[in-house]
Structure 1
């Protein structure tokens, strides 16, 4: 049994991954921010956590963590001219600074594990370039740089990888998929002609956490229906 910490386990990809890891026999410590969660599985233990707070306490976690997955994010798609600098800062604090503070808090626990791994999340928009994506791409671009820097710094003890999905059917993307017309149009943009599911992304995360990925670190894994590399 491994111990995993999932920040943002209350919905979307984090919730799906929590259930998959629990079903596989692992112990999952999942966080929620606003809505108190009732575990779907006895191997999941939820607790309240706000990555934006100054003083973060994760001392109650086990002395050894096999992995941490940082899921919080935002999707704010607007013309560049209409985005205030404060909006970029808010996104950066949530998606980058929050990840940094959390990882720093649990590094000693990861070092106590034999096959420790960190999973972060980017977006296909960083390396592809999409209009109206400057706000999310700025923060997620930083996440990709952080992934490679941490992978180099903590090898061989801790593996660090990043998943860069395309549009995935999560509550965060609800406004982009709230009609049949939007769903069909977005599906057709992808060579595989469908929207990603939380299970698609969770499957990759589960693989990267496992011993099957023990020779993989510092990678940006594109799970995106082919949109980043095919026409």
Structure 2
């Protein structure tokens, strides 16, 4: 139990990669606080972890929206209280509301995605880092995406915002190193979660991913959780400012081709940016 005695906050811990990381950390003895917007989902994740690892410290649930700065500060404080201080944080909460050509992006959805992925991660780092500095050091892991390193056509704000997360990791690592706080990021590739179920059930998309993944399989949440545990633990005390791909090698090739999924919606011309000229634009 290499994380025994450590208190760790996991945002987005109610499902997917976040829940997988929370389970791994709890299994290694950490006092985990999972944060998310849906109490029922968080409670189900905590119960699942308790069932799988009955000897692990109980997982605490804290409902908060990380796009709200005050709620994020409260979540960090709750995690510190739960574990008698704070030793680590995983900024995993994120998402995307913008799928389609850049010429047809919904501006409100773009702003919501930026708010969640960039501002939400920044708020998490801001308050967690302050707590870790006060405690004399610790580690932060931010969950990015292969979409930050390899273009994903028609993914809108997602890759752009995850690129911002990558830079925040490097910036925070540079600033916080003198206080003993390490900051690293993880870029998952295609990971088997409910969110990517439409990809996994599409023969064409699945084949495209496999063609561009040297290791030739779909990633599991445990692949990401294992690295997160390492970066939070005492075996990585000389590692900071790194953003590591966990993608089976897909970063060596290209991002996915979603034309088969999106062309029926936007049309072939739409995917290359063609839109009808509006009356205002014609004036």
Aligned position for 1:79 = 101
Deviates more, 1:118-127 or 1:178-187: 178-187
Higher fraction of helix:
2
> Does the residue aligned with 1:228 lie in a helix, a strand or coil?
helix
Q: Which of 55, 74, 77 lines up with 2:70 in the alignment?
A: 55
8 Å contact kept, 2:32–2:79:
no
Aligned position for 1:124 = 146
User: Is 1:46 the equivalent of 2:69?
Assistant: no
User: Is 1:198 the equivalent of 2:221?
Assistant: yes
Q: Distance in 2 between matches of 1:178 and 1:67?
A: 36
Q: C-alpha deviations, 1:171-225, integer Å up to 9, x for none?
A: 2222322345543442332111111111111111111111111111011101111
Which structure 2 residue ranges, 5 or more long, are not aligned?
Answer: 51-56, 255-283
Q: Which of 107, 131, 138 lines up with 1:109 in the alignment?
A: 131
| C-alpha distance 221-43 of structure 1, shift in aligned 2 (>3 A) | same
8 Å contact kept, 1:66–1:114:
no
Once superposed, what is the RMSD of the aligned Cα atoms?
2.0
Task: With the length of structure 1 as denominator, give the TM-score of the two structures.
Answer: 0.91
User: Is 1:183 the equivalent of 2:206?
Assistant: yes
The alpha carbon displacement at 1:114 in A equals: 4.9
Q: C-alpha deviations, 1:79-102, integer Å up to 9, x for none?
A: 211212322211110011011122
User: Is 1:8 the equivalent of 2:50?
Assistant: no
Q: Distance in 1 between matches of 2:194 and 2:137?
A: 32
Q: Which of 94, 101, 116 lines up with 2:116 in the alignment?
A: 94
Residue-pair matches, total: 231
User: Is 1:24 the equivalent of 2:46?
Assistant: no
Q: C-alpha deviations, 1:132-166, integer Å up to 9, x for none?
A: 23421110111111111100000031100111111
Deviates more, 1:8-17 or 1:104-113: 104-113
Q: Find the structure with the greater CA-based Rg.
A: 2
Deviates more, 1:212-221 or 1:182-191: 182-191
Task: With the length of structure 2 as denominator, give the TM-score of the two structures.
Answer: 0.75
Alignment of 1:128-139 (within 5 A): 128-139=150-161
> Does the residue aligned with 2:8 lie in a helix, a strand or coil?
strand
Aligned position for 2:270 = none
Which structure 1 residue ranges, 5 or more long, are not aligned?
Answer: none
Q: Distance in 1 between matches of 2:126 and 2:69?
A: 13
